[in-house]
A and B are shown apart, each in its own frame.
Chain A
Amino acid sequence: MAVRSAVNPGSTDYARFEERFRGAVARDEGMVGVGAVWRVRREAILDVLRFLRDESGLRFRMLTDLTAVDCAPVRDGDRFDVVYILHSLERGDRVAVKCAIPEEDCRCDSAHALFANANWLEREAWDMYGIEFRGHPNLKRMLNHKDFVGHPLRKDYDIYRGQWLSESDDLLDELERRRELDPRPVPADRETMVLNLGPSHPAAHGVLRNLVELDGETILHAIPEIGYLHRGFEKSAEVHDWNQIVPYTDRLNYCSAILNNIAYARAVEALCGITATDRTMFIRVILGELSRIMDHLVCNGANLVDLGALTNFWYLFNLREKIYDVIESVTGARLTNSYTRIGSLWADVPPEFSDSVRNVLREIPKAVGDSEKLVVRNRIFIDRTVGVGKISTEEALSFGFTGPCLRATGYEFDLRKAYPYDHYDAFDFEVPTGHQGDTYDRVMVRFEEIRQSVRIVEQALKMMPEGPIKADHPALTIPDKKQTYGNIEGLVNHFKIIMHGVQVPKGEAYVASEAANGELGFYIVSDGGQTPYKCRCRAACFHIYSAFPRLVEGGMIADAVATLGSLNIIAGELER
């Protein structure tokens, strides 16, 4: 598997960095998919991150992920590792920084001033692991509720121990704090109003809640609360074997389940050091791009319904049903497909696959064109979207934007082009970009991406080779039935995989794929056991949604609805 990472491993820039922080920084064991890993003394963490971000030749401007690992059962000494994964988009390089934290003094400095998305990431790490980030402006529970006791991702927290909540958080304390930090004065003769948008609200896709303070219809402050759909993906992954996790990945971004399956399978395959077969890669590309198309159809369809354009919903959803039929004929399910396996697929595609895909490809341009024509020069649509929810490239990178929302700001970045995997470098396609990062651009980028995906699928259908779908690796892929029933070796392999699951070597990996919302990464730690030691999902829309207050404050309520729809926030992925 092509997991391109450091363009310049061990370059002079790395050496300069190590020289600069001599004594505070040490190289650590490698992480698959990442150029270098450093272990940093926690007193130096902010200086190290600042240096990595700003120094020319390094320029790691994006904090891709921040999480922690509880090492209590496997390590004496400091119990937690805080892991920062940084990405330099211009140079095509990723590095990881680790910082050990003892249990007795479970504290670390907050990086929220360096990276805007660190604010939410650190809140999550506090919620799940109990690591306190000094200087954090708002260290509250995030995915769990306010009455929750304990930290669920610690290894000593029992997975089955649920805790009841009697009343939801009113969020007024957060509003008070925001008023102090970011005062927005209103004229003395006016009163502000505090309003709950969501969690049960027609425009609150899924169950998103925002407490907004209004001056008339203008939003002064927006306080998002998330976690209503926190389903414990990471904790569940720790008690299931490697292939059993595939159905859980379906339900992250459930609008494009296959893309999640692929991203997860790629990460585990990279950790095992194996490559899927060519046929499997092409099938993954075809079904993955069809899923991307479906995801964009849902996003734009629902967004336009929120803007009052119901006709688009019918046009786009009709098409979606047709793609469903194709995907159902392959995977047996409409929505949650669980199609990939480690090193292979659940099954090969049926014989009529190519024809049915070509049939549906013919219908896509018309349906998308019809829908696009209804809005692209529509006065109401333009008035409601142009200049609404605008964000600059610089700020978007600081918030960790990826995918269509980053491209809408005019920054051309796509993991399929930057780190080609699954033969994406063999296809001729463009990466559409917007101009000013507003709602209009985001909608249009998605429409254009649908067309580009159609191009990719057309080419992939022509290039798809015959051959096996299973990587030839008996410890990872289940043998064919003929082998199982025909010889003792096949029978033993079958038994081993069914009873004990696949064997993944000890180590860790961070591997990212371009999902419909942007960078979907899996940070996986294996101790060589039957289940992952840790399986962290880097969800694109978690980062994007953390910029939501920044996008809507100062605008009208109706603009917030339009903006939210265009960000494509999928609760399953946001809250995992």
Chain B
Amino acid sequence: MGLISRPERPELRTGVQKTRRLPAGASDEAAAVRDAGFVTRFDALLNWARKNSIWPLPYGTACCAIEFMGAVDSVFDLSRFGAEVVRFSPRQSDLLLVAGTITYKQAPILRRIYDQMPEPKWVFAMGVCASSGGFYDNYCTLQGIDKVIPVDFYIGGCPPRPEAVLKALLELQKRIESAPAAR
């Protein structure tokens, strides 16, 4: 299958386009491509694959982990967005989903798990505890995971509803889609 990188064609910038839409009178080369399948930029293809096969690592510590299970179950069904393959090994995942309170005691572990994840990687702070410590403003609770690792999306709520997790996932997909170049 031929994959042709043609950055000069702006109408192909986003996602996949079927070759059926090629203008009439396209070259033989284009016709060959049409028979083979489709044409796109390599970047776009890669981003398209990435955004639809996010493998989250649910770092579930508390109440939010139960709502994450809600997001996975058959009512909300995270798998509709290609993100149902949860991995508990940081080496196999690209989305760190921190669901729950992180304490000072846990902070070094969270940092190590983040470091073990291969690039590219993204982080969700699910719920207010992970985002800011929430109403646990006290001696044992870390006041937001962004004190130890970078965060891409903060999901509000205590705990957030499953829809909020899905919304964050869709936002992440948008961001991945428009990533400038393959990393």
> Bound complex: CA of A207 vs CA of B60, how far in Å?
8
B158 within 8 A of A: yes
Of B10-18, B48-56, B106-114, which binds chain A? B106-114
- Asked whether, in the complex, the Cβ of B60 is within 8 Å of the Cβ of A152, the reply is no
For the complex formed, measure the closest distance between the CB of B128 and the CB atoms of chain A, giving whole angstroms.
11
For B100, the chain A residues whose CB sits under 8 A away are: 206, 229
Does B59 interact with chain A (Cβ within 8 Å)? yes
Cβ of B69 within 8 Å of any chain A Cβ, yes or no, is: yes
Residues of A within 8 A of B60 (CB): 206
Verify if B101 is at the interface (C-beta below 8 Å from A).
yes
Are A157 and B105 in contact, CB atoms less than 8 angstroms apart?
Answer: no
Q: Determine whether the beta carbon of A162 is less than 8 Å from that of B62.
A: no
Digitize A152-179: 1 where CB-to-B-CB distance is under 8 Å, 0 elsewhere. Answer: 1000011111111111100000000000
**In whole angstroms, how far apart are the Cα atoms of A254 and B100 in the complex?**
11
Residues of B contacting A229 in the complex (Cβ-Cβ under 8 angstroms): 61-62, 100-101, 103, 106
A228 interface residue (CB < 8 Å to B): yes
**Contact-size category for B:** 35 or more
Question: Contacts A200-B88, A228-B106 given: A206-B140 contact, CB under 8 Å?
Answer: no
In the assembled complex, the Cα of A304 lies from the Cα of B140 at a distance in Å of: 33
Tell me the minimal C-beta distance from B158 to chain A in angstroms.
6
Determine if B136 and A164 form an interchain contact, defined as CB atoms under 8 angstroms apart.
Answer: no
With A165-B107, A334-B161 in contact, is A251–B63 under 8 Å at CB? yes
B121 to chain A, nearest CB (A): 15
Tell me if A232 counts as interface (CB < 8 A to partner B).
Answer: yes
Q: Give which listed residue, B61, B88, B107, B137, contacts A206 with CB less than 8 A.
A: B61
**Contact assessment for A160 and B88 in the assembled complex, using a CB-CB cutoff below 8 Å:** no
Contact B62 A163 (CB under 8 A): no
Q: B22-30, B35-43, B70-78: which one contacts chain A?
A: B70-78
Partner of B109, one of A162, A199, A247, A313: A199
* Contact (A254, B66) CB under 8 Å given A168-B108, A207-B61, A336-B159: yes
CB distance from A545 to the nearest CB of B (A): 16
Asked whether A571 lies within 8 Å of B136 as measured between CB atoms, the reply is no
Which residues of chain A have C-beta atoms less than 8 A from B104's C-beta? 145, 162-165
- Assess the A317–B74 pair: CB atoms within 8 A: yes
Query: B141 an interface residue at 8 Å Cβ cutoff?
Result: yes
Contact of A284 with B by CB under 8 A: no
Taking CB atoms and an 8 Å cut-off, the chain A residues in 248-289 that contact chain B are 248, 250-251, 254-255
Q: Which of A143, A206, A235, A298 has the most CB of B within 10 A?
A: A206
Contact of A162 among B69, B101, B141 (CB under 8 A): B141
| 8 A-B pairs closest in CB distance | A254-B63, A232-B138, A317-B73, A202-B88, A145-B105, A321-B75, A231-B136, A232-B140
Q: Taking beta carbons and an 8 Å cutoff, which residues of B are in contact with A? A: 59-63, 65-67, 69-70, 73-75, 88, 90, 100-101, 103-109, 113, 135-143, 158-159, 161
Interface residues of A (CB under 8 A from B): 143-145, 152, 157-168, 199-202, 206-207, 227-232, 235-236, 247-248, 250-251, 254-255, 298, 302, 313-314, 317-318, 320-321, 324, 334-336, 571-572
